[in-house]
Structure 1
């Protein structure tokens, strides 16, 4: 499955234990998303567009209105990233 670099970064953060918190409008649509790493930092390149693409591909999901987490399909899709420090 082809995924962009930004999608890859978000999936990698989620695979390490991060989550995506969201706000909903009164009509039920997601209006704002924030991707948190496992350390509690906010990942700045997680936009509503990237969130929608990951959800459409079923790489992330939410259960019982909990924050979005990576699925098994998402874990298989994510590639290892080198640590550039």
Structure 2
């Protein structure tokens, strides 16, 4: 599966225990996403477009109306994070 660098970064943060909180507009569509790492930091790369791509590929999921977390498929798809500096 082709996963972009930004999607990999978001998945890596989720695999370490982070979550994605989202806000819906009056029409029911997601208008704002907030990726929170396990340390409580905010990942700026998680845009609504990246969020939709991850959901479409079934790499993240929400259970019982909880914040989105990485799915089993997402865990198998994420690669070790390169040390980019």
RMSD over aligned Cα atoms = 1.3
Correspondence for 1:26 = 26
Could you say what secondary structure the match of 1:33 adopts? strand
| Structure 2 residue 62 is the aligned partner of structure 1 residue 62 | yes
- 1:1-85 equivalent positions in 2, closer than 5 A: 1-83=1-83
Show CA shifts across 1:3-29 (max 9, x none): 000000000000000000000112221
CA distance in 2, matches of 1:53, 1:32: 14
Q: CA deviation at 1:83?
A: 4.2
Unaligned runs of 5+ in 1: none
Give me the TM-score of the superposition, normalised by structure 2: 0.93
Give me the TM-score of the superposition, normalised by structure 1: 0.93
Q: CA deviation at 1:41?
A: 0.1
